[in-house]
Amino acid sequence: GSLWCVVPAAGRGTRVGGHCPKQYLPLAGRPLIEHTLERLAAHPQIAGLLVTLGADDAHWPGIAELNGKPVLTAAGGAERSDSVLAGIDALPAAVGQNDFVLVHDAARPCVRLDDISRLIERGSARDGGLLGAPLRDTLKRADAAGCSARTEPRDQRWRAFTPQMFRRGQLAAALRKAAGDGRAVSDEAMAMELAGYAPLLVEGAEDNIKVTTATDFPLAAYLLSRTVT
């Protein structure tokens, strides 16, 4: 198949605040990103990985192949959406404009292979979709003093995860349009929404955390150890 996964890995990890970007910090004894890439390469439907790196990245371990699948790199950009678009543009020509492309954060090493399978199966029946989960907690609107001004409805509110999966041409056009309109988009689905699509929400396991702060490392190590892929 020609289902490729773009892996944005050009962030600095400022909220972790480590001596290097979080994707290269040790998780269960190995750089975090290696767990993420190995999981993706282990998925039978993923044909190759395209990793976008920071321009001054001195930590990339130079992986060229995993599980017999090509691992390509490209330069990322200032924002996550820039990195994703650069990755899509750098995909091999064999990935057609109507082919689906996955996008998965380097910072989400605990993604489950069965969730990826469900996203591929359900999303490819439409114009794509994303993994996510309904909100679990009561949601508060804070005022300027940090007090709870009111309680927001929780129904129909979802947290968005990755992978997200869209058609190569449609996603590239949506990301270009958002950038041209000066609209910051925090994920691929937001760019697609602004372009008039309604991406399918596919419920995935809460294991799929985005490692964001230093305390997420032991949690991710635990989740990795127990995840049945």
Residues of this chain, 18-47, that bind ligand CTP according to CB under 6 A: 21-23
From the number of C-beta atoms within 10 Å of its C-beta (0-12, 13-18, 19+), residue 226 rates as: exposed
Identified binder of ligand CTP from the candidate list 10, 71, 102, 131, rule CB under 6 A = 10
User: Which amino acid, 168?
Assistant: R
The closest of 4, 51, 5 to 32, measured between CA atoms, is 51
**Considering beta carbons, is residue 80 or 112 the nearer one to ligand CTP?**
80
**Considering beta carbons, is residue 55 or 145 the nearer one to ligand CTP?**
55
Torsions phi, psi of 73, nearest 5? -125, 155
Please state the length of the chain: 229
CA distance 198 to 194: 9
Query: Which SS3 state, helix, strand or coil, does residue 193 take?
Result: helix
**Considering beta carbons, is residue 39 or 80 the nearer one to Mg ion?**
80
Which region holds residue 146: left if phi is over 0, alpha if psi is between -120 and 50, else beta?
A: left
**Considering beta carbons, is residue 107 or 130 the nearer one to ligand CTP?**
107
Which of the stretches 9-17, 59-67, 145-153, 156-164 binds Mg ion when contact is defined by CB under 5 A? 9-17
Binding-site partner at residue 76 among Mg ion, ligand CTP, none, CB < 5 to 8 Å by type: ligand CTP
- Count CB neighbours of 146 within 10 A: 6
Site map (CB under 6 A) of ligand CTP, residues 52-71, x = contact? x-------------------
Q: Contact positions toward ligand CTP, by CB under 6 A?
A: 8-15, 21-23, 52, 76-80, 83, 105-107, 210, 212
Which stretches of the chain bind Mg ion, using CB under 5 A?
11
